[in-house]
Structure 1
Amino acid sequence: MGTWGTGPFDNDTAADWCNDLDDAAPAGRAGIVRGTLARVAAGEGYLEAPEADEAVAAAALVAAQCPGGEPPEPSYGPEQPLPDLTGLRPLALEALDRVMSEPSELLELWAGSDGASWRAGVERMRRTLLPRPPGEQLSLR
């Protein structure tokens, strides 16, 4: 697995998944994101790193469309427009919870040196995906 950073698109698997998403018909892109998240969220047993990397990338695309979300990495994220994915917030949260729970190969791989930075990035993404109570203002600080 080629990984060059701690961001959701900073690995070969996520970059390839984004390329596949770009190659898909526009009407099918939401289904690809949904399918990736659902597969991981519903999975049982050992979660392999490639599936987890794809789920983290998919969750990042959902989070990017939420208030306070970080835009996708321009070099390795998808280049084609995406439909509204905000309805996938609960599924994205479930998938991230699965990635961050044992047994997860990606969680094991990030137990080392840069693991704290990776976990912090996933936690920021989780907070962005959480529903906000009506009327709550997003702090820009």
Structure 2
Amino acid sequence: MGAWDFGPFDNDHAGDWSARLHHAEPGDREALLRGALTEAADTTGYLDNDEATAAVAAAAVVASTLPGGTPVTSAYGPTFLTEGGTLDIGEGTPELAVRALERVLGPDSEWVELWADGGGDTAQHPAFVSVHELLAVLRR
């Protein structure tokens, strides 16, 4: 994983996914967002890191649209959001994002394996803390 920090957009695949979201036609963005979340949420076998990181980035976008959510300010996030743009998310999308993040944090997740590889308490690891913060906003 080409990761340079612990935030939702701070790895190669999430940055690429964010660029696709940014460059998508505005009317196609909701489908792209829901697609990333659904792919992770509905995976029953091993969850590949690329799907997991796209889901984390998509969940961060969803959380940014909710009351109490942290606005997307990362230079690697979808630029239309950092420039004051908006995104309409469909009904049920926050719940889908919760399911996706629960799957990312669940068993048979390469994302968990890669971040937990160094040992130590994952509850205190910044990548895990970041995802749990997103879950807190999405569950409100």
Q: TM-score, normalised by structure 2?
A: 0.88
Decide whether the 8 Å contact of 1:36 with 1:58 is kept in 2: yes
Secondary structure of 2:34's counterpart equals helix
Question: Which sections of structure 1, spanning at least 5 residues, go unmatched?
Answer: 132-141
**Aligned letter for 1:20?**
R
Q: Does 1:92 align with 2:97?
A: yes
Q: TM-score, normalised by structure 1?
A: 0.87
Q: Which residue of 1 aligns with 2:24?
A: 24
Q: Distance in 2 between matches of 1:63 and 1:74?
A: 14
Deviation at 1:39, TM superposition (A): 1.1
Decide whether the 8 Å contact of 2:65 with 2:87 is kept in 1: no
Instruction: Give the number of aligned pairs.
Output: 131
Matches within 5 A, 1:64-83: 64-80=64-80, 81-83=85-87
Q: Distance in 1 between matches of 2:14 and 2:73?
A: 11
CA-atom RMSD in angstroms: 1.5
Q: Percent identity, aligned pairs only?
A: 43
Q: Distance in 2 between matches of 1:45 and 1:86?
A: 27
Q: Distance in 1 between matches of 2:90 and 2:50?
A: 24
Provide Cα deviations, 1:38-64, integer angstroms capped at 9, x if missing partner: 111111100010110000000000001
